[in-house]
Chain A
Amino acid sequence: MASDVLRRNNVKVSGKGTRPMMFAHGFGCDQNMWRFVAPAFEEDYRVILFDYVGSGKSDIAAYSPERYASLDGYAQDVLDICHALELSDIIFVGHSVSSVVGMLASIREPRRFHSLILIGPSPCYINHPPDYVGGFERSDIAGLLDLMEKNYIGWANFLAPAVMKNAERPELSRELEESFCSTDPKIARRFAEATFFSDNRADVARVRVPSLIMQCSEDSIAPLEVGQYLHRNLPGSTFQLLEATGHCPHMSHPDETIRVIRSYLNNTKEARRGSSS
């Protein structure tokens, strides 16, 4: 059964260390997005990459609209992998929506997790005036769904397979085979809805695992105010404002991303040593 889960979620394990470090991709992508960052941790950790069911090279046949209608279904994917690999003391690195997925998984099985590293997190993307500014109105998300649908009309074009048949640069074709975006438009749409319509503000206070909030400068998806809100309400959280701009620092500014994660992990290691002595 364990091997079923590993196949289902296209789980890839690498690295020389023993402590597991699990990288969870965000909406719109798959595990390939970690390729500028994850290798840096292979020397010291057991690096675990995976695709959520419905993304990347996961087993699409295992997709269930009911299960993945909410982020709990995605959190179950994370826990299924933890069980299959018998992981504990996990450093969970989640980008964007996976930050919430990691929080949900850690609430259900707190003992499995060492810490959560949250890159561009938001507990709720929709505005709830007057108390909460998530950054978006429901109509904005409807606009996104419409954009996605129109781009999926020319789905083949969107992935640009024709230009990738480039004999001089075979590495490009290989990359394309490791398909990049979510493959099925209906699944992508449901993932978008689960991501942007979820309100997990009530779950934030229930997290019992220490965490690092990595807040980008000028992030239009997870703006500064949202990161600060999360820091105020997330027990045991450390807040780090990055120089990196945008929403994908692990792709646009991998060096800074690696540096900040390393320094947080070293600090928690020392803090633990300090408290135990």
Chain B
Amino acid sequence: MDDLLNRAPCGFLMFTDDGRIKAVNETLLRLLGHDAEALTGQHLETILPVASRIFYQTHLFPLLKMHGRAEEVYFSLRTKQGEDVPVLVNAQRRERDGAAVYDCVIIPMRQRLRYEDEILEAKREAEEANRIKDELITELSTPVITVWEGILLAPIIGSLTRERAEQMTDALLHATVERRARVVILDITGVRTIDTAVVQRLVQSVAAIVLLGAECILTGVSGAVAQTLVHLGLDLSGIRTRRRLAEGLQYALEIAGSGHKQ
């Protein structure tokens, strides 16, 4: 081996298509505590801890085989003393005497690993916090209130995304059956933006409520929302609308009241 490569401040290793080690430089030998005779001809896996062996077989080898190179791959090497050293590896395939060999440059990364562990931990915490927040928002975002016997009110505030509209429909249908509602008021006074897909879903949930035998009233329709509804050309015959929530309530009481009299 070239003296420069042998003493370079990085590990160098060459292996064949079937994973046999062909050459190792002095820097890597020193890191691993082995001598060259002991490693040459051995399988690469002899210097890999178990998890790294699986990673080599399932990821690194296929990657090298398919693309001819891999960069900044992280795994661990096991020293003669049984210590695991985290390393970063760049590897590249080339032809040598008619057969494929892989040249690897190997750099220990103990310090950086600690930093990455911290990043990963922070990422996990952030994801968990996000999950809890999402759950809370989901719970809070679709309340269905019984305002009078047989009358349900679903006030919707903020942006109505597809996901929220789905949750809302589920909650509404469930409550309509559970609480034997005769009238369901959807109040969208607090809705800032709405898109056509969401309106379509809204219309569908209204249709479902009607199918369940309840009447549906849409209140608090803003000018923009009204325009969207009209542009869509949807059949809105099943939906009664009132501009203000108070009017909707009054109307609902009339229907519910007339039901009581029957």
Q: Tell me the interface secondary structure of chain A in the complex.
A: helix
- For residue B247, CB closer than 8 A to chain A, the reply is no
**Secondary structure class of chain B's binding surface, majority of residues:** helix
Q: Which of B17, B43, B51, B58 has the most CB of A within 10 A?
A: B58
Chain A residues with CB under 8 A of B19: 245-246
Interface string of B55-68 (1 = CB under 8 A from A): 10111011101111
Q: Please report which residues of chain A, range 165-196, place their CB below 8 angstroms from some CB of chain B when the two chains form the complex.
A: 172, 175-176, 180-181, 196
Interface string of A248-271 (1 = CB under 8 A from B): 100111000000000000000000
A–B pairs, 13, beta carbons within 8 Å: A143-B52, A144-B54, A160-B70, A164-B67, A175-B66, A175-B67, A181-B59, A181-B63, A220-B45, A220-B53, A220-B57, A246-B18, A251-B62
Contact across chains for B73 and A218 when beta carbons are under 8 A apart:
no
Does B234 make an interface contact (CB < 8 A)? no
Q: A172-B67, A176-B67 are in contact. Are A143 and B49 (CB under 8 A)?
A: yes
- Bound CA–CA A242/B78 (angstroms): 28
Could you tell me if A149 and B120 are in contact, using CB atoms closer than 8 angstroms? yes
Interface string of A212-226 (1 = CB under 8 A from B): 000000101100000
Does A129 count as interface, using CB distance less than 8 angstroms? Answer: no
Chain A 225-259, CB-CB to B under 8 Å as 1, else 0, gives 00000000000000000001111100111000000
B83 within 8 Å of A (CB atoms): no
Residues of A within 8 A of B113 (CB): 150
Residue numbers in B under 8 Å from A140 (CB-CB): 50-51, 54
List residues of chain B with CB within 8 A of the CB of A150.
Answer: 74, 113, 116, 120
Bound CA span A157–B19, Å: 23
Q: Which B residues lie within 8 Å of A136 (CB)?
A: 50, 54
Chain B positions near chain A (C-beta within 8 angstroms) = 17-19, 43, 45, 49-55, 57-59, 61-63, 65-76, 113, 116, 119-120
A158 to B68, CA, bound (A): 13
Asked if A251 contacts B69 (CB within 8 A), the reply is: no
Told that A137-B50, A143-B51, A251-B65 touch, could you supply 5 new A-B pairs with CB distance under 8 A? A28-B59, A33-B62, A180-B63, A246-B18, A252-B18
Question: Which B residues are in CB contact (< 8 Å) with A149?
Answer: 120
Q: Within the complex, which residue of A153, A221, A248 is in contact with B120, where a contact is CB–CB below 8 Å?
A: A153
Contact status B18-A26, CB under 8 Å: no
The verdict on A130 contacting chain B, using a C-beta distance below 8 Å, is no
Smallest beta-carbon distance B48→chain A, Å: 9
What A residues does B63 contact at CB under 8 A? Answer: 180-181
- Kindly name the residue among A33, A154, A160, A245 whose own CB sees the greatest number of chain B CB atoms within 10 A: A160
Known contacts A150-B120, A175-B66; A246/B72 CB under 8 A? no
